[in-house]
Amino acid sequence: MSNPNISRLIVLLICLGICIRVILFLVNPPNNSYDDHMEVIQKYSEEFKRPLPFECWQAYQPPAYYYIGAIFLKCGNYLGLKGACRWKIVQSINCILSLLVLILFNRILMECGVNNGSRIFYLSFLAFLPRDIFTSLMISNDYLLIFSSVAALFYFVRLLKTKTEISKRFTLLNFIGLSFLLYWVVLQNSRGYCY
């Protein structure tokens, strides 16, 4: 039986981690980044095809994040947003992924049977980890790799714990799909240019 105070503390840690990310997201400008990913997202949104490496500096990077960013940028255009407001929608991608990582990480700990004291320790570390918080505030392709890794681990752990054959197949398909996405992102991150 779980202590309700411990459960409340775990929920509070997750909520504080979410609040910190959302508040900092709201006040952080979209162009606050150490790499210029906005240019390549703009190019992807114009034609939905990968630009050549000489067209912009980040064109050699994995395309998954840039396609997602282009879709979000187009949504901002359809909503009639202009300038920084439409880029704020693109900036929200990593914030959303970071919130999902917090939740998935807690679920992984629960699935693995980690005791509540250790869960509090691990969650407090992730909820307030500056690197994770600041990466979630930028327009950058780095956080998609983090999310993909955590999601793949989550589905792998669930696969190990599922009882029925149909559930195992569904969970295995999710795990394989995320693993291939992760593999594709990592392979594309090589300095070579691959189609």
What are the pLDDT digits (tens) for 71-121? 999 999 999 998 889 999 999 999 999 999 999 999 999 999 999 989 999
Q: State the pLDDT confidence band at 5, using cuts at 50, 70 and 90.
A: confident
Per the domain annotation, does 107 fall within a domain? yes
How far is it, in rounded angstroms, from Cα 65 to Cα 62? 7
What percent of the chain lies above the pLDDT cut of 70? 89
Burial of 168 (0-12, 13-18, 19+ CB in 10 A): middle
What is the length of the chain? 195
Q: Which structural domain, as residue segments, surrounds residue 24?
A: 4-188
Per the domain annotation, does 193 fall within a domain? no
Give the tens place of pLDDT for each residue, 125-184: 999 998 889 888 899 888 888 898 898 888 888 877 776 677 767 777 777 777 777 667
**Number of domain units in the chain:** 1
Per the domain annotation, does 29 fall within a domain? yes
Per the domain annotation, does 195 fall within a domain? no
Per the domain annotation, does 184 fall within a domain? yes
Residues ≥6 apart with Cβ < 8 Å to 50: 44, 59, 63, 66, 195
Per the domain annotation, does 44 fall within a domain? yes
Higher pLDDT, 64 or 13: 13
50 has a pLDDT exceeding 70: yes
Per the domain annotation, does 194 fall within a domain? no
1 has a pLDDT exceeding 70: no
Question: Taking every pair of C-alpha atoms in the chain, what is the biggest distance, in angstroms?
Answer: 60
Per the domain annotation, does 110 fall within a domain? yes
Instruction: Give the torsion sign (CA, 91, 94, 178, 186).
Output: positive
Residue pair 69/98 in contact by the 8 Å Cβ criterion = no
Rounded to the nearest 10°, the torsion over CA 168, 173, 174, 179 is 120
How far is it, in rounded angstroms, from Cα 42 to Cα 67? 10
Give the tens place of pLDDT for each residue, 26-43: 999 998 877 778 888 888
**pTM value?**
0.81
